[in-house]
Structure 1
């Protein structure tokens, strides 16, 4: 037969299943950010993707990795683990939104010259499918319209089977320059 599944009982931690933990590590981002200001966005993102610079803490937390970085177009990969599950057992929409924002922002960042930054000022997310722990997600971001003050980008997440999980459109404020 298979492994017998126990039902959790209110107030009885012995029935709640194995306690799990997850360790996240990152480098102090201050030094990397300072160096990044002297590099174009494309150079900076490529250096992180190639391991010549540490990735940002949010990338480490979510377990994202760059697959492709081109000016105005990025592709990232993430496998959502069970630490991102919501109370009903599917991956929390906050992770999905963060992945979309990261891909769209990286696409814009990849077009910016040295010393120019950005921040998201608006994001609209459409959730299309549930994501389960262990699902491989491909996160694609692209610039729709670059700008000297405001840039517009879109992103989508697809399952390993190519099914669209979520989409987003964003507006980003370009800072500096």
Structure 2
């Protein structure tokens, strides 16, 4: 066997969690992008980075590698689904007022083509289709390094008070 390894480092998420109720969702995401708040540990585990956030829209980038492979030698659909869930969630988060949070209710993913380590950087973009005070809806798409769409998704998210 030819062993490979990957080391994951992350920052303590507690300061970000504590700061969340004190600012709007968009402010929170922009501070995360600027490095003023820590990224959630799952972002480092999966190798994904929030690169853009504006009102009703969020973008993540992830460089797939062999550590994301499933038994048939392609990137596991769970990575693509996690990218979509994160982008959809952050798109909705960007619309939330101070003191509001969210959690996914449902995500429906359509996988359109396989992803390999050689596919290049994956970009997951999501846009809110219907903001809400109780339930919000968003759509997402993942493209590979050559711009080909590899998956699409729709999601619904529960909006609730935090703090």
TM-score scaled by length of structure 1:
0.87
- In the comparison of the two structures, how many residue pairs are matched? 161
Within-5 A mapping of 1:63-82: 63-82=47-66
Spell out, residue by residue over 1:70-123, the C-alpha distance to the aligned partner (whole angstroms, 9 max, x if none). Answer: 110112211011111000110001111000000000000001011100000001
In structure 1, the partner of 2:116 is 132
**Is residue 158 of structure 2 the alignment partner of residue 173 of structure 1?**
yes
In structure 2, the partner of 1:156 is 141
Unaligned runs of 5+ in 1: 1-15
Once the two structures are TM-superposed, the CA of residue 32 in structure 1 deviates from its matched residue by: 1.4
SS, match of residue 25 in structure 1: coil
Spell out, residue by residue over 1:151-174, the C-alpha distance to the aligned partner (whole angstroms, 9 max, x if none). Answer: 000101011221100000000000
Q: Which has the higher contact order (CA 8 A, sep 6+)?
A: 2
**Is residue 113 of structure 2 the alignment partner of residue 122 of structure 1?**
no
Structure 1: distance between partners of 2:20 and 2:158: 18
Structure 1: distance between partners of 2:152 and 2:55: 20
Q: CA RMSD in A?
A: 1.1
In structure 2, the partner of 1:22 is 6
Regions of 4+ moved over 2 Å: none
Which has more radius of gyration? 1
Unaligned runs of 5+ in 2: none
SS, match of residue 42 in structure 2: helix
Structure 2: distance between partners of 1:101 and 1:63: 15
- 8 Å CA contact 2:12–2:38 kept in 1: the answer is no
